[in-house]
Amino acid sequence: MSGLFAFIIFLGPLVFVHELGHYLFAKLFNIKVEVFSIGFGPKLLKKKMGETEYCISAIPLGGYVKIFGEDPTMELTDEEKKRALNHQEKYKRFWVLFGGPLFNVLFTFFLFLFIFVIGEPQFTNRLGRVVEGSTGYEAGLRSGDRVLEVAGQKVEYFKDFIERVSEIKGDRALLKVEHLNGNVTSLNVPLKDISSSNPYGEKIQISTIEGVYPANRKSLIAVTDPKSIAGKTGLRTGDLVKEVKWGEVTTKIFSFEDFSSLIAEKLALKKKLPETIEIGVEKKGEPSSVIPHTLDLSFIRGSVFQSHVEFQDAIGIHSTELLIEEVIKGTPAAEVGVQAGDRVIMVNGVKPRSFDHLRSLVQMTAESGNKVSIVVERSGERQRLEMKPEGRASKDYLGNPVTTFAIGIRSQIKLNEGETVLVRILNPVRLVRESLGQTWDLIVMTVVTFKKLLLGEVSPKNLGGPLLIGKVASDSLDVGWLYFFKLMAMISINLAILNLLPVPVLDGGHLVFLGIEAVLGRPLSLKKMELAQQVGMTLLIVLMVFAFYNDISRMVDFKQIFN
């Protein structure tokens, strides 16, 4: 979606709510409001209703409410003073000034009320996929398992599982797991440390379990050897497995994990293979019919298979995960002759367990300064190709530099949606409590972020301006309205806290002036106030310029330009 459009529909309501807070408190105390504007600069649309002019202005970077009597140098009649801001009692001026940030906080609270009532889809505690050969798999986790507890803490959703594991300090996690057969077991699973960022943009190490995903793969198959058992029966790459008849029993298949698990289950019985198995598939363009294909196993009946992977290799059926969907032009893979439809079998002598594993093998090899050697299968023939990965300097969402190495291929993997449940809160007491809790957490996080910025504990490069807001607003809207509203809630709190900073020209600066007046018993002199306003405006301009610079530098490498 257009970044400008997303920016306007994102920031517009936040600005409106903020200015509405100032406006309503002014009206409450019978203080005259001259202008209510969304945006700055030339007025594009305007309409006067009563004593107030309502308008939309050209520059959508904020808004303002012009309140009568803000200028202390104005000469007013006794009648006019009754409705002028600077001639009101201090508590009235406080609420007019505080009203904007307060309404931003209230808006966040009501956004969370709305989000919780509408409901948020969450992955359940079922593991959609556990990659064969990963540390999670070797420890006993299997696709379809439900994680009930992590280190004694209850797990309801997949995000709980990830969070509980990430908090563990150690090299193993004790999991309580319910398997598909109903058995509940305890597993001691090895952990892997990975780099991540906390909400303040600081680099941290967190624990994770390798090879675990919430969604499984579609039961699409890759048949890259037409002379294989599968190839000879007419099975082709892109067929969708719907059922498997093994002996007298027909099993419905909904994912590639179902297909692999069925084979693993049959092999575990240690019985002789049947003469044939029947695989029913949907062909491309024929989604309504299941076409059976009979595989003759007579040539491999005497073989002993240690795993379902070995059996699948023997019959020539593979997941499409390591099948190349696209080779990007001008990349190392394209230059050495890798083609769409090739299946990656080996990377530097290692059989990749997944496409993520393939990428990590490429990354590790490139970081050590070596070339990558891959073996691909094409029409039953295997080829070894060597290439030097391409390093791409980029930046993460906070602008921190990262280098990613790639060879220029895309996977044909297709995923099912995963088991989800709509999590809603309809109990009024819990609804209010959770919404207040989420709002408070955002306030604390924002205050701590500002504190860390001031103390230099967080890089000022993490600051973002309108361009970053437009980008993340557009990205969140592409994902879904729920994420858009969550981001809006976060920025609303940021707007509230930013305006409460004790900087002249901001609401917080005016509140400081009001506090000084209450202590001294008189307002600051006009000269001191003007000086403070000038300093505040300078600080604000510097902050805005720096934020704009950060936004642009996330898209453009200034060092390269200047060099």
Query: Are the C-beta atoms of residues 372 and 389 closer than 8 Å to each other?
Result: yes
Give first-to-last CA distance, the chain, whole Å. Answer: 34
Q: Is 257 exposed, middle or buried (0-12, 13-18, 19+ CB in 10 A)?
A: buried
- Is there a catalytic annotation at residue 19? yes
- How far apart, in whole angstroms, are the C-alpha atoms of residue 128 and residue 217? 8
Q: Of 19, 132, 210, 390, which one is the catalytic site residue?
A: 19
What is the token pair recorded at 213? 């995903």
Query: Are the C-beta atoms of residues 243 and 227 closer than 8 Å to each other?
Result: no
What is the token pair recorded at 563? 């060099």
Location of structure tokens 């696709």: 143
Q: Regarding beta strands 240-246 and 249-252, do their DSSP bridges make them parallel or antiparallel, or are they unpaired?
A: antiparallel
CA angle 231, 269, 262 (to 5 degrees): 45
Q: Angle, nearest 10°, between helix axes 466-479 and 526-555?
A: 50
Query: Which residues have C-beta within 8 Å of that of residue 198, sequence separation ≥ 6?
Result: 204
What is the token pair recorded at 19? 């200015």
Q: What is the DSSP letter of 464?
A: -
Query: Are the C-beta atoms of residues 216 and 413 closer than 8 Å to each other?
Result: no
Query: Which residues have C-beta within 8 Å of that of residue 213, sequence separation ≥ 6?
Result: 127, 128, 129, 130, 131
| Helix and strand numbers, DSSP H then E, in the chain | 16, 25
Q: Which long-range contacts (CB under 8 A, 24 or more apart) does 511-519 make?
A: 511/94, 511/97, 511/98, 514/90, 514/93, 514/94, 514/97, 517/90, 518/90
Q: Is 476 left (phi over 0), alpha (psi -120 to 50) or beta?
A: alpha
Enzyme catalytic residues: 19
